[in-house]
Amino acid sequence: MGSTLCICSRGVITIENKRYLFIQKLGEGGFSYVDLVEGVHDGRFYALKRILCHDREDRKEALHEVEMHRLFNHPNVLTLEAHCMMEKGPKWEAWLLLPFVRGGTLWNEVEALRDKNAFLSEDRIFYILHGICLGLKAIHDQGYAHRDLKPTNVLLGDDDQPLLMDLGSMNHARIEVNGTRQAMAVQDWAAQRCTISYRAPELFNVSSSCVIDDRTDIWVGTGPYCLQIAGNRRSSSDHPCASSISPSAVCCTP
């Protein structure tokens, strides 16, 4: 569960016996906040992700995200520096200390270019997709699938090296579905955890007898994901991805 976290003074926190200074807020989502903090011991910047946990199930899901991070030591998967659970009255917060990546997300980069009426070059697209595939391969080799791959869940580090993040939706890559009840459970889970515009087709209407596997991640990289990072939300045969990338070329696992 990580070492106990305490607030030593305003703007200073301690995680696993190391102090960090609050610098500024970076962003927020539906149930989480991200702050920029600086390590007193090393002068490095970190991103502190604070996940709001309203009940035991929320705490379980937050710790699942921690466990997923702990599986990897790979240049294309975001590492977890430290974590802890903080009790706040009847609720809890899970605090995940992550590296601060100055490049921001892939989505930020695409939108910034779009504002200038510019696009990612073909070489840059392939370079980024290659790094994403290496990160996915690391995840798939551990027997898991990301399940929520999208431009906002990819950070661009030094030299455009992509880093997969937000591992909370990860689960076992191979899911055998036997029966209508299980099919509905998988479908409901996907509706909650997999962003609709990037969700693989087989997760919309799950068959009562099927196998869901890591190809849900591959589909994203060969369809809407590729077209979007190329700078167009609509399908177009003019995009380099449309004609140059096939599922077999991008697929990282057999």
Contact, 131 vs 76, CB < 8 A?
A: yes
Q: How far apart are the C-alpha atoms of 148 and 146, rounded to whole Å?
A: 6
Interhelix angle 122-141/215-222, rounded to 10 degrees, is: 180
Catalytic residue among 55, 123, 141, 148: 148
Please indicate whether residue 148 is annotated as part of the active site: yes
Residue 111 tokens read as: 């939108």
Residue 54 neighbours by CB under 8 Å, 6+ apart: 91
Query: Annotated catalytic sites, by residue?
Result: 148
